């Protein structure tokens, strides 16, 4: 199992727009990615412009399907990334379940 952790630091005041787009992304993932076992979005209570995404993929192929999808490119790369000050992404192997 592949685990992806992504931290978004939004530009000031961009939190609501980021959240709206993340809702669209989560909907697409749920509908089109059987290899994604968990796609969890959390919003900071201390700074509403910041988000933590926690994702589980069955394997590298499932992660590639996600990253290469047209909706990922449209929603995340083209729409959300311009609203961010910073984006950190880390990929892990699930060691214990």
pLDDT at 17: 98
> Mean pLDDT in the chain?
97
Which three-class secondary structure state does DSSP give residue 14?
A: coil
What is the per-residue pLDDT across 28-61, written as a single tens digit (0 to 9) for each? Answer: 999 999 999 999 999 999 999 999 999 999 999 9
State yes or no: pLDDT of 97 exceeds 90.
no
Range of the domain at 69: 2-93
Please state the pTM of the whole predicted model: 0.92
pLDDT at 96: 82
What's the number of domains the chain is made of?
A: 1
Give the separation between CA 11 and CA 30, rounded to whole angstroms. Answer: 27
Percentage, residues of the chain above pLDDT 70: 99
For the chain, helix, strand, coil in percent to 5 are 40, 35, 20
DSSP state for residue 82 in the 8-state scheme: G
We report the CATH number of the domain holding residue 41 as: 3.30.70.100
């Amino acid at each position: 199992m592949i685990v992806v952790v992504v931290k978004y630091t939004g530009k000031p005041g961009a939190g609501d727009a980021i959240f709206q787009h993340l809702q669209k992304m989560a909907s697409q993932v749920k509908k089109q990615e059987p290899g994604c076992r968990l796609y969890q979005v959390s919003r900071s209570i201390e700074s509403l412009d910041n988000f933590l995404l926690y994702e589980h993929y069955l394997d590298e192929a499932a992660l590639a399907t996600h990253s290469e999808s047209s909706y990922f490119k449209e929603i995340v790369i083209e729409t959300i990334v311009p609203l961010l000050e910073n984006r950190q992404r880390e990929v892990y192997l699930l060691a214990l379940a």
